[in-house]
Amino acid sequence: MGRAFSGATDRIDFGSAASLDDVNVLTYAAWIYPTNVAVTRVMFSKGGSAGKRFRLFGGTSSGSMQFTVAQASVNGSAQTPAATLVANTWQFVACTYDALLNPKIYRMALGGAMTDVSGTPTQGTGGTSSDAAQSMLVGGDASNPFPGTMAEVCILADALNPARLTSLAYGIMPQSLRLYAPLYGVASPEPDYSGNRNNGTLTGSAAGAFPPIRSRFAGVGSWAPDRTISGGGGPTPTRGRASLLGVGM
C-alpha cells in the first residue's frame, strides 16, 4: 500500500534530525499517483520557500512540477513544461541538486524511460540557505497538501543520474540514503528504513494503493529493521520488475 493524502491537511512530518538537515547535494524521489495535476501543492518540503521544495505546479502551467533551492544570491530552480504529469496514474518523479548548484527534475512512466523534464533550469549562486531545524514534510504542508497517493519516498545525499534513478525506482537502493519510507500505510509513526530512523509523524492520510511494481519487500515477513539493504537498515529487497524491464541489478 501507499499513503493516500486527501488534499486537505494530510501530511507526514519526518522531523529535522541531523541526517536530514542541510543536505545540499540531494535527490528527492517517490512514486506518485496525483488525482489533480492542475493545482500547486507540495510533495517534499524542507524549510519551504526559504529552503528546499518540490511540488506540483498548477495555474497556467497545469500539470508541471517545480523544484527550488534557496541560495544566498540566486535560487536554484527548475520547472517542467505544462502537462508533464498525468492525473490518476502512477509515475516516478525525482529532483536532484548537484555540487555545482544545478537543479534537475525527472519523470518516468511505468515501464518507460527516465526522462529529464527540467525545462530551462536556473543555476543557484551563493551559499545554500540553511534548513536546519525545519521539518522534512512529505505529502504537503498545512497550506498546500498533495492530492493523491505517494509511495517509496527516498531522500539521498547524492544527485543521482537517470540510470541510477531508474534503478532506484525499481528497488536498487544507493548507499547515500537519508530517508527511505515505503509508506505502506499500516504503521504510526511512519517507519524510515534508511538506517537513520527518521520516523514520520502522521497528520491524517490513509492507507492507499501501491504502485504496480513488485515491492522490494515482497516475501519479507516482518518490518524488523535489523535486516539490511545497501546503505541502510531495512529488510532485504527482493528481485522484482527491475529484471523484467531490463534495469541493471
pLDDT over 70 (residue 228): no
CA–CA gap between residue 9 and residue 204 (Å, rounded): 7
- Domain range annotation of the chain: 2-244
Is a pLDDT exceeding 90 seen at residue 241?
no
3-state secondary structure of 168: helix
Q: For 97-149, write each residue's pLDDT tens digit.
A: 999 999 999 999 998 999 999 999 999 999 999 999 899 999 988 888 899 99
Give the C-alpha separation, 12 to 189, whole Å.
9
Q: Starting from the edge strand earliest in sequence, which strands make up the sheet with 201-203, in order?
A: 76-79, 64-69, 52-57, 41-46, 136-138, 11-13, 201-203
- Average of per-residue pLDDT across 214-220: 50
Quote the pLDDT of residue 142. Answer: 80
pLDDT at 216: 60
Q: What is the CATH number of domain 2-244?
A: 2.60.120.200
Q: Which residues contact 50 (CB under 8 A, 6 or more apart)?
A: 70, 129, 131
Question: Which DSSP string corresponds to 165-208?
Answer: HHHHHTT---TTEEEEE---SS-SSBP--SSS--PBEEES-EEE
Q: Return the higher-pLDDT residue of 211 and 115.
A: 115
Q: In the structure, what pLDDT confidence band is assigned to residue 204 with cuts at 50, 70 and 90?
A: confident
Residue 141, pLDDT score: 83
Query: In sequence order, which residues have a C-beta less than 8 Å from that of residue 217 and are 6 or more positions away?
Result: 182, 234, 235, 237, 238
- The C-alpha atoms of residue 149 and residue 139 are separated, in whole angstroms, by 8
The three cell numbers of residue 186 are 499500516
pLDDT of residue 219: 37
The model carries a pTM of 0.87
28-50: average pLDDT: 95
Provide the grid cell at 150: 505517494
User: What is the reported pLDDT for 230?
Assistant: 35
Cis peptide bond N-terminal to 189, omega within 30: yes
Contact 59/89 with Cβ under 8 angstroms? no
